[in-house]
Structure 1
Amino acid sequence: MSSVTDESGRRRLGRGLAALIGDAANEFEVVERVRGVRKVAIDMIAANPRNPRRIFREEELDELASSIRQRGVLQPIVVRPAPSGGPGYELVAGERRWRAAQKAGTHEIPVVIQELSDKEALEIAIIENVQRQDLNPLEEAYGYEQLISEFEYTQQDLAQVIGKSRSHVANTLRLLKLPEPVKQYLNDGALTAGHARALVVAPDPSTLARKIVEEGLTVRSAEALAQAVVAEPKGRAKTPKPEKDADTKALEKQLSDALGLAVEISHKPSGAGELKIRYASLDQLDEIVRRLAGH
């Protein structure tokens, strides 16, 4: 497998990874294209206990198993010799195919056998899943954390290896700070990564997450809600504000949904008033300016 070396001498997976795991869009050609493919008894392969992907939905496995019964396993999985030195192999990439093949009653499965260290096996497992978008946001975050903590990657190093921006890596890692109830919503698919990122800075993410799920709020509405909570003054008594009429509330919501920011409209008896738009970063301010300027 080809690799490149960065300035620090740390080995990096290069174009060889793409050749090894293939392109999902061309999976019908993979078996013919990849050299060294052979068939191995499926019961000679053990799961990788460090695979970042933890959730395998039964309905998806059933669909893939049905396809395998009709056409077989079209794309080989990647394995390495059992690290214990005993017989058999350990799965590196392609666990979903391996599980579905078992459901389909397949006795043999096409494999590419690679001599890999623990580090290389973990890198491939994480990168393959990220490239195929097979991980939920939390699994992706835990995978990044493993590479950073065990192999001394910086966020910039990791961004280059997986082909994502450094801000994507940083924002994904921040999801690990969320409380368990919010993480469960993520694992269940009730919240997206966009919803969860909006909750990271909120003082009570669990309560806001429950509101978002129950009301089916969009990501923009969730961001506006979280920003409004963060912007609320603390530690002093508030003067009760007069109840706003329904038209004003509707207009606030319309503007908030359109901008993805907290919006407040205040009327005065004279007919004048104020429109307040709260932003949480300079990027959001730049976006407001861009829209007002008509760019």
Structure 2
Amino acid sequence: MANEPKQKPSRLGRGLSALIGEVEASTPAKPEPGTAPAANGVNELSIKDIRRNPDQPRRTFDDAALQELADSIRSKGVLQAILVRPDPKEPGKYQIIAGERRWRAARLAGLDSIPAVVRDLNELELLEVGIIENVQRADLNPIEEAEAYEALMNRFGRTQESLASSVGKSRVHITNTLRLLQLPEAARAYVRAGKVTAGHARAALGASDPEAVIEMAAERGLSVREVEALVKGAREGDGVASASTRSKAPEKDVDTEALEADLMRQLGLQVDIRHGKNGGELRIKYRDLEQLDDVCRRLTRRKP
């Protein structure tokens, strides 16, 4: 039986290191600036001829970290080439596939050119490699990561299984990350800014008002377990106050909020302490008689 010709392997899912690695292994040195771009090597391209990728999954760049990288580039140069493709709309120009942070820092450092590997990728490969690079380097915040996965699914018909294989994550991770897109935009902003984690956000999704829960978690510094307990206790009642109700309530001092958090951690239920000039009240929200019975046992338990 004759041997069948081998099918050309797809570059999808191999990651940035594979795409660049196969070039750097066969390229002895980068050419002088101004020479024609090599088809399979490191080129020195003019920074003004390079454009950012409008579909780049990463939207947030830390200014201080970017300035540190720019200072390092002034001292030691760009140590790793960026990955670009010919711009499909502007002949002679290039679009960044991976390495936008290095490109931005090089501009800050005042460089005129930057080492780059040129690859002729299609739209799907462009988006996927951008996601793979950022996910592998943990450069995306959870919302950016979720939006990138959604773009691959909606625009290119990718499934969760194929996404998991491409980016080196489990399907459960893909599913849980995509769930974050169920959050209202105001709640997503807390995740983007790093004020709460993806764990906080996923726990808040079980509440009738996730935005209120996430805002409370950010303001009070609640742990993920505390948010889970808060949502659990409020699931069948109005345990989490609406934004309008909270806006009318008097602000609580740090000590009161810390005491509330401690009690919630101990009881696993929502706790509200209201203190005034003539005393105050302690409210514990329970869902059913079993939870009430558990609180009573805790309160009446005698210490040895």
Into which bin does the TM-score normalised by the smaller protein fall?
0.7 to 0.9
Amino acid at match of 2:295: S
> What is the alpha-carbon root mean square deviation over aligned residues?
3.3
Give the Cα–Cα distance (whole angstroms) in 2 for the partners of residues 126 and 19 of structure 1: 14
Whether 1:129 aligns to 2:121 is: no
Normalised by the size of structure 1, how large is the TM-score? 0.73
Query: By how many angstroms is 1:105 displaced?
Result: 0.5
For the 8 Å contact 1:179–1:206, the answer to whether it is kept is yes
For the 8 Å contact 2:204–2:210, the answer to whether it is kept is yes
* Structure 2 stretches lacking a partner, 5+ long: 1-6, 31-39, 240-258, 270-285
What pairs up with 1:153-172 in 2 under 5 angstroms? 153-172=158-177
Amino acid at match of 1:254: Q
Query: By how many angstroms is 1:15 displaced?
Result: 3.8
State the partner residue of 1:38: 43
Give the Cα–Cα distance (whole angstroms) in 2 for the partners of residues 39 and 250 of structure 1: 58
State the partner residue of 2:273: none
Query: By how many angstroms is 1:231 displaced?
Result: 4.2
Runs of 4+ in 1 over 6 A off after TM superposition: 31-35
Secondary structure of 1:13's counterpart equals: coil
For the 8 Å contact 1:4–1:13, the answer to whether it is kept is no
Q: Name which of 88, 98, 102 aligns with 2:103.
A: 98
Give the Cα–Cα distance (whole angstroms) in 1 for the partners of residues 236 and 17 of structure 2: 46
Alpha-carbon displacement from aligned partner over 1:231-259 (angstroms, at most 9, x marks no partner): 4489xxxxxxxxxxxx9x967623649xx
**Inter-CA distance 169–250: structure 2 relative to 1 (3 Å threshold):** closer
For the 8 Å contact 2:13–2:165, the answer to whether it is kept is no
* Structure 1 stretches lacking a partner, 5+ long: 6-10, 23-28, 235-246, 274-295
Give the Cα–Cα distance (whole angstroms) in 1 for the partners of residues 65 and 264 of structure 2: 41
Give the Cα–Cα distance (whole angstroms) in 1 for the partners of residues 210 and 203 of structure 2: 9
Give the Cα–Cα distance (whole angstroms) in 2 for the partners of residues 203 and 164 of structure 1: 30
Alpha-carbon displacement from aligned partner over 1:21-65 (angstroms, at most 9, x marks no partner): 56xxxxxx9x97996112111111011111011111211111111
**Inter-CA distance 141–93: structure 2 relative to 1 (3 Å threshold):** same
Give the Cα–Cα distance (whole angstroms) in 2 for the partners of residues 89 and 250 of structure 1: 55
**What percentage of aligned pairs have identical amino acids?**
47
For the 8 Å contact 1:199–1:205, the answer to whether it is kept is yes
Query: By how many angstroms is 1:164 displaced?
Result: 0.7
Q: Name which of 245, 254, 273 aligns with 2:266.
A: 254
Alpha-carbon displacement from aligned partner over 1:207-248 (angstroms, at most 9, x marks no partner): 1111111110111211221222224489xxxxxxxxxxxx9x
Amino acid at match of 2:145: E
For the 8 Å contact 2:29–2:42, the answer to whether it is kept is no
Give the Cα–Cα distance (whole angstroms) in 2 for the partners of residues 180 and 140 of structure 1: 15
Amino acid at match of 1:75: Q
**Inter-CA distance 251–218: structure 2 relative to 1 (3 Å threshold):** closer
State the partner residue of 1:210: 215
State the partner residue of 1:20: 19
Give the Cα–Cα distance (whole angstroms) in 1 for the partners of residues 268 and 90 of structure 2: 60
Secondary structure of 1:266's counterpart equals: helix
Whether 1:266 aligns to 2:295 is: yes
For the 8 Å contact 2:71–2:109, the answer to whether it is kept is yes
Normalised by the size of structure 2, how large is the TM-score? 0.71
For the 8 Å contact 1:4–1:12, the answer to whether it is kept is no
The farther-off stretch of 218-227 and 117-126 is: 218-227
State the partner residue of 1:108: 113
State the partner residue of 2:78: 73
Aligned residues: 244
